[in-house]
């Protein structure tokens, strides 16, 4: 990002904090393997369903080693509520098995000591782990200053005009180049809330948006003042 883009990002962050506050974080960050599995479960479903699937899996198996040894179909049965059972159970079994083969233990603690780029490269080498999943592990469990880009973040930062990326993965690259220090968690979390409650995919409620003075979206719907009262439960800050 250039200076102007960074300035716009910082301004956006300040307006979002004014509107939504500083999102809470758990005092002790969750284990990165827990976070990886929770993020795989969260793909294409809502936070409540993926949280229920994660809890069921943790209740059924005492350790991730047990999950690695389990039959894929048994894992699929436990995570059914999160949808895409075949795809997600395959990815979970695969990543745990590969970790065991490569590191002799199921742990991602070593990622704390390497830079973001190397950590993302390592994680995305596991089948079924994309850039968004990898960056969620870095932000939510390793406390790195990195902003994952899901569909809400992709849509909102492009509309606001902070970066222009044609896909979430391109947006991720542009956004995380020179990302301002210490604000990734609040920026990411508040943007998702904005995307769910105000800057929705269709008919954004620009009339009540705290960013309307800085947003460059050409099709602003300033007459739309509808509020959506979403529950602000965020899965990835509730993985324990």
DSSP codes of every residue in 169-185: HHHHHHHTTTPPTT-HH
Distance CA 26, CA 96 (A): 25
The smaller minimum CB distance to ligand SF4, of residues 43 and 205, is found at 205
Helix runs in 61-183, H state only: 64-69, 72-78, 85-103, 116-124, 131-140, 151-160, 168-175
Answer yes or no: 132 catalytic: yes
Residues of span 113-172 touching ligand SF4 by CB under 6 A: 156, 159-160
Are residues 55 and 166 in contact, defined by beta-carbon separation less than 8 angstroms?
no
**Measured from the CB of residue 221, what is the shortest distance to ligand SF4 in angstroms?**
7
199 is a site residue for ligand SF4 (CB under 6 A): yes
The least CB distance from residue 179 to ligand SF4, in Å, is 19
Q: Which of 8, 58, 88, 132 is catalytic?
A: 132
**10 Å Cβ neighbour count for 182?**
9
198 contacts ligand SF4 (rule: CB under 6 A):
yes
The Cα 75–Cα 72 span in angstroms is: 5
How many of the chain's residues bind ligand SF4 (CB under 6 A)? 14
Is 215 a binder of ligand SF4 (CB under 6 A)?
yes
Give 159 or 193: the residue with its C-beta nearer to ligand SF4. 159
Which residue lies nearer to ligand SF4 by CB, 54 or 217?
217
Give the nearest distance from C-beta 226 to ligand SF4 in angstroms: 11
Does 211 bind ligand SF4 (CB under 6 A)? Our answer is yes
Cα separations (Å) of 228 from 30, 31, 191, 196, 204?
30, 33, 15, 8, 11
Span interacting with ligand SF4, options 22-30, 125-133, 176-184, 204-212, rule CB under 6 A = 204-212
16 near ligand SF4, rule: CB under 6 A: no
d(CA 153, CA 165): 11
Decide if 13 contacts 183 (C-beta within 8 A): yes
Q: What residues are annotated to the active site?
A: 132
Residue ranges binding ligand SF4 (CB under 6 A) = 156, 159-160, 198-199, 204-206, 209, 211-212, 215, 217, 220
């Amino acid at each position: 990002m250039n200076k102007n883009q960074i300035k716009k990002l910082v301004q956006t962050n300040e307006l979002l904090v004014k509107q939504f506050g500083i999102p809470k974080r758990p005092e002790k960050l969750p284990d990165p393997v827990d976070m990886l599995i929770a993020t795989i479960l969260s793909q294409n479903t809502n936070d409540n369903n993926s949280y229920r699937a994660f809890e069921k899996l943790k209740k059924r198996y005492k350790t991730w080693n047990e999950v690695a040894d389990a039959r894929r179909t048994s894992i699929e049965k436990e995570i059914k509520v999160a949808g895409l059972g075949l795809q997600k159970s395959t990815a979970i079994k695969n990543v745990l098995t590969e970790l065991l083969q490569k590191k002799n233990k199921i742990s991602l603690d070593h990622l704390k000591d390497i830079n973001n780029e190397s950590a993302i490269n390592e994680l995305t080498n596991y089948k079924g782990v994309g850039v968004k999943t990898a960056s969620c592990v870095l932000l939510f469990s390793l406390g790195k200053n990195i902003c994952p880009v899901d569909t809400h973040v992709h849509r909102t930062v492009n509309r606001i005009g902070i970066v222009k990326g044609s896909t979430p993965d391109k947006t991720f690259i542009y956004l995380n180049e020179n990302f301002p220090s210490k604000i990734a968690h609040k920026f990411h979390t508040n943007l998702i809330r904005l995307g769910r409650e105000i800057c929705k995919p269709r008919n954004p409620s620009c009339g009540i948006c705290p960013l309307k003075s800085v947003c460059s979206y050409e099709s602003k719907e300033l007459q739309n003042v509808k509020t959506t009262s979403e529950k602000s439960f965020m899965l990835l800050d509730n993985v324990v």
